A and B are shown apart, each in its own frame.
Chain A
Amino acid sequence: MNDELDRLRRALHANPPLPSPGDRDRAIDAAMAAFDDHRQGIRREVRRKGQVPDRGTSWLRRIKMPRPYLAFAGLAACLVVAAGVGYRTLWVPGTVEQRVAEAGPDSRTERERMVREEPRALASRLSQAPPEALPGASPRARRLARELPAAPPPESSMQQVAPTTLPPDYRDRGRDRFSSFEANPVKIAAEEPVSTFSIDVDTASYAFMRASLDRGVLPPRNAVRTEELVNYFPYDYPPPASPDTPFAVHAALMPTPWNAATRLLHIGIKGYVAARDSRPQANLVFLIDSSGSMRAPDRLPLLKTSLKLLLSTLAPDDRVAIVTYAGSAGTVLAPTRAVERAKIVAALERLDAGGSTAGAEGIRQAYLLAGQHFVEDGVNRVILATDGDFNVGITDPEALEGFVARKRESGVFLSVLGFGLGNYNDALMQRLAQNGNGNAAYIDSLSEARKVLVEEAGATLFPIAKDVKIQVEFNPATIAEYRLIGYETRMLKREDFRNDKVDAGEIGAGHTVTALYEVALAGSDGALTAPLRYGTREAQPATGSEHEFATISIRYKKPDARKSTKIARHVTRADMHEEAGDASPDIRFAAAVAAFGQILRGGRYTGDYGYDDVIAAAQAARGEDGFGYRAAFIGLVRLAKSAAAMRPQGR
């Protein structure tokens, strides 16, 4: 019965986190120093009652004592971080100036010298000293010191910084956090005609990129997954005609925007849309706790982001309303169609935490709204988002549960989203949700929000296929080289395609998935590799091959199936657009996003194609943009452009 926990127990015991002996010794040394310092402090406290310590020597004394030695560790960390970003906040003003001040009324020049010298001296000590030689420094400071190549000469560095807009606390910790990956290389079709990868409908990378750019900094390269950026956007590819084939496969070739000599092979997959009218319409009321306790960053701010994620899964005709409760309950947004995303987002953004929690009244108002706009055979749901501090106004939890249960009978269900939970009201909320025929979920991170609100609300409400793998076989007679853009972390082995044990991505109703290859046609001058002087094995072309560029095969399993099914689509001359302008806006927009992703990753293959080109291409391909995503994207490219301009090295 408890085998999951047993398995976890075994794994925990088999993989204990072990400190390094160095960390252990340093922690104990630092603690002993603090202990001595603490004791000394107590003794000083006792002594101070009798005599006033000599003021003139106090700062010197402090330097000899263990505490500044610890303070040095903090200072060192700040310095290293600053140097890594651009040698900007080179000293911690408080620390130095404080010491100068404590030095007493010395000559001004002396004071200036200290302010000038101190950071430099420290920085050079830092860069010269091996990390081990930084006694008392925290492990992080030591690691940072290790990574710091050498302190740049202060004068020149001071000039090149554009300090005001870069957030001072930005630290490029990407090196530690993101697994690094190289862009997929160029492959020669004659040598390796088959390319296999798993479908990917994640968009986490987009959110991360946006978060970075919103702060005015370029995202770390490895945080940029081009395919996730491309797949962030909905595309209006025609869906399959019947649910028997869960998705339609589209293909087109067009000139590559960033390289006139090559073509872009665009593969667009559209999941079956459970016939517009058979997919239930949603009538959602967000009931948002905006009490003071929601102010923490993992609460209201995360909640706003989470609900925006949920918005993106809604159909244009679905309705959303927002009720808040804090002190007094109130309707912030009357039921609004999801297509008016900007209005909904604006209402969310206006929310501010403050006051105490009047939960019961909020629930009543939310149900009232949901009832007024009830959709027969639709999804009618109150979504309660709270940190569980659900106290004011509920005198009797049982009565509230009863209320929720009665409402369930009327067809309005309750879901509970918990934020920053940490008290016994967890249990109450769980009970409320169960009584409301809903579910309770914890949102403690953006990825959890995505999982719960996007995957589970969208795809698990209507999942259509799982373990979806794509295999493209290129025809060496017509394609010389190819390069898959993005999907680096989703590559599969050729033989995995047919192996049903190998797991792959899932796809929900109406999902679109896009993949792009840059290809060099045989005989064109777009190939990067030179032909071999002594020839190669002649590829043996199959039937009718001069008209075919590639065959796209997709394997998938129906949600409840164990065996996979295959769909195939040939890419022929009929799919070729001679001019980029002939391709649909969706295809051109995807190409612009792909270009952007590649530029953010260093632009190895994109040549001179820059942010302005991306903006122009995206503008021209905005299409209907019902949710405003594409307009927002263009704004992000502009942010990236200015962030890149501020970055000394440029990118």
Chain B
Amino acid sequence: MDDCAHMNADTDGGLAGRAAAGDRDAFATLLERHYDRIYRVSARVLGDGDDAADLAQDVCVGLAARLPSYRGESRFTTWLYRVVVNAARDRLRRDGARRRNEHAFAEIDSLARAGQAEREDEAVWLRQMLSMLGADLRATVILVIEEGLRHAEAAEVLGVSESTVSWRMHEARNRLRALIAGNEVMP
């Protein structure tokens, strides 16, 4: 009985419940535990380090007021992913055209540069591939591949059907293949 209670107390769900009820330590523990995840997903979806730190902070700040809306229907991390992905999308949308122009330019730019000296740099390759996937495919791929979510979970996070996630994964692979084929010069 005691063991069980103890375990419950330390699960994400347990912590979230206590934090929502005003337990400061529980909230701090949750933040400590999940900040890196929040940052990681922010960075991937936004594709920009500075913006990610900004967004991660906003998400953390917002959690204080938002936690009570987590009712334990899904895993805490699923709920958290949804919060982060939605916040990232809102930001992408809000920053609108100006940002897109700059990104469009940065993309062309990174392509131009990737064509030369930095081609072998895996990080550059990765950034290029992710940026060419576009926001929706990118978010899907990140959740499935990097965060290890099942298609059904990713679908829940993204608010789409499971078959859409599967289709997107398929489409992402096709695009990657085309991009790799189009870019590869090195044997």
Contacts and interface: CB of A to CB of B under 8 A. Distances in A.
A276 interface: no
A17 B107 contact: no
B56 A19 contact: yes
A9 B122 CA distance: 12
17 contacts: A5-B145, A7-B176, A8-B126, A19-B56, A30-B57, A35-B64, A139-B54, A169-B98, A177-B105, A202-B108, A208-B101, A297-B97, A298-B97, A424-B161, A426-B164, A427-B167, A504-B115
A5 B57 contact: no
Contact of A31 (B64, B100, B134, B167): B64
Interface of A: 2, 4-5, 7-9, 11-20, 23-24, 26-28, 30-32, 34-39, 42, 70, 138-140, 143, 169, 173-174, 176-179, 198, 200, 202, 204-205, 207-208, 211, 223, 296-298, 301-302, 421-424, 426-427, 430, 442, 444-448, 450, 489-490, 492, 501-504
A37 B62 CA distance: 12
Given A15-B123, A177-B102, 18 more contacts: A5-B145, A9-B145, A12-B146, A28-B35, A34-B61, A34-B64, A138-B53, A178-B105, A179-B109, A179-B113, A204-B104, A207-B104, A298-B97, A302-B97, A423-B164, A424-B160, A448-B134, A504-B115
Contact of A173 (B61, B102, B180): B102
Interface of B: 19, 22, 24, 27-28, 31-32, 35-36, 39-40, 43-44, 49-54, 56-58, 60-65, 89, 93, 96-98, 100-109, 112-113, 115-116, 119, 122-123, 125-126, 129, 134-137, 141-142, 145-146, 160-161, 163-164, 167-169, 171-173, 176-177, 180, 183, 185-187
A261 B7 CA distance: 83
A8 B129 contact: yes
B121 to A, nearest CB: 10
Q: Which 9 A-B pairs give the minimum distances between C-beta atoms? A: A17-B43, A31-B60, A447-B104, A27-B57, A139-B53, A35-B64, A4-B176, A446-B104, A297-B96
A42 B93 CA distance: 32
A35 B57 contact: no
Contacts of A208: 101-102, 104-105
B149 to A, nearest CB: 13
Contacts of A179: 109, 113
A461 B46 CA distance: 33
A296 B56 CA distance: 24
A36 to B, nearest CB: 7
A2 B145 CA distance: 12
Given A34-B65, A426-B164, A17 B44 contact: yes
Given A17-B49, A427-B164, A445-B103, A27 B60 contact: yes
